[in-house]
Amino acid sequence: MSHNLLYHWMQTIARHLRALSLPKQRNLAAFSIGLVRAQNCRLSAIAENLPELGTPDTVLRRLQRFLSQGPLPDARVQQQLAQWVLNALPADQRLVLRVDETALHDRLRVMAVCVAYHGRALPIAWECYPPDAYPEGGQVVLAMRLLDRIASVVPPGREVLVEADRGIGCSPALLRAIARRGWYYLMRVQRTVRLILEDGREVEFGTQVCPGELFESVGWAFKKGGWLRCRALGWWREGCEEAWLLVTNHLSVEVSAYRVRMWEELAFRDFKSGGWDWQRSRVWSASHAMRLWLVMALAYLWMISVGSWAVAEGVVSVLVDIFGLVGFLLEGNVVWEVRAPGVLGWGETVVMGFVWLWSRGRRCFFV
């Protein structure tokens, strides 16, 4: 990294995350670029990859101070991050928001709202908390608070589809709150959920789908939570242990739309053992983790943007020819570093990562 690259990234962050002070914008820019270069969340590893800022010990202390200083305006910063991402996405495409929880062993939990994007999911709102100190109101209240946090920056008229797995999606209160916003939901539910079918029969959802079958019915769901009008969709793929049992208020969405659930799981894996090694950060405080997640989200956004640009511009094929990376690319993603003077007009080291071959021809620039 050089000062030119750091300056470019700092200017980009300052343009979008205006709720932060200039020193915090600078620290975020340096921290996130150091993370990309280190490909590791250990603060000492990041410090070693920021020689322009001083000796490793000096930089390490700076990073530690950044994580431990007073609270950031998290809600406002996440709003601005969400606006940055959403405004860069194609306006004519459905916006899919995934809500899920991930854990760091028995030390931390994080609930995140992520935007589905080309095989991964970009975090735009999150909350960190100890496992034994769940936020007041439980998962449903927390999920709705995160969705509320970004609702004001969703472009008007944009179709929004919120997805979640069984632990969150079985709440009629959450589904009603999503519907009141004019948004759609597609939620996986437990097999024990009661349905009233079109013919008036009351059944257990799990009994309506057999292996290899698709199921669809318009009716009512959630007897105990107060019957909710919806479509019930089921699919039991051959070879799978259980069916997808889904409810939605969308008139035409299909079961296949739920496949993006894997994108968020892959993104969480990228944050952990498959990429940033979050589990090795030794950052256990929830307030400190909130800042670290912002750093990881920005680094992830930058790498995905560069990767998207590389695919759209055909740079990938050139790199494959030069460096023989065919085998790695066919695995779905790769992280590599090349000296590419002038590639992005920076004339500096360009870190290319998480490139999706199936996104060829699509352009999306966040950076």
Q: Which amino acid is at 77?
A: V
Per-10-residue mean pLDDT of the chain, 367 residues long, equals 72 93 93 88 93 93 90 91 92 93 90 91 94 81 94 93 90 93 95 93 94 94 93 92 95 93 89 86 92 93 75 56 34 37 31 34 43
Rounded Cα gap, residues 86 and 91, in angstroms:
9
Rounded Cα gap, residues 36 and 301, in angstroms:
11
Of the candidates 60, 112, 32, 104, the one whose C-alpha atom is nearest the C-alpha of residue 279 is 104
Reduced to 3 states, what is the DSSP secondary structure of residue 256?
Answer: helix
DSSP states of 2-66:
-HHHHHHHHHHHHHH-TTS-HHHHHHHHHHHHHHHHHTS--HHHHHHT-GGGS-HHHHHHHHHHH
Confidence at residue 312, expressed as pLDDT on a 0 to 100 scale: 67
Q: Residues near 239 by Cβ (< 8 Å), separated by ≥ 6?
A: none
Q: What CATH number does the domain located at 74-267 have?
A: 3.90.350.10
Question: How many C-beta neighbours within 10 Å does residue 135 have?
Answer: 14
Confidence at residue 137, expressed as pLDDT on a 0 to 100 scale: 76
Reduced to 3 states, what is the DSSP secondary structure of residue 351?
Answer: strand
Rounded Cα gap, residues 227 and 235, in angstroms:
22
As annotated, the residues of the chain forming the CATH 3.90.350.10 domain(s) are 74-267
Confidence at residue 77, expressed as pLDDT on a 0 to 100 scale: 96
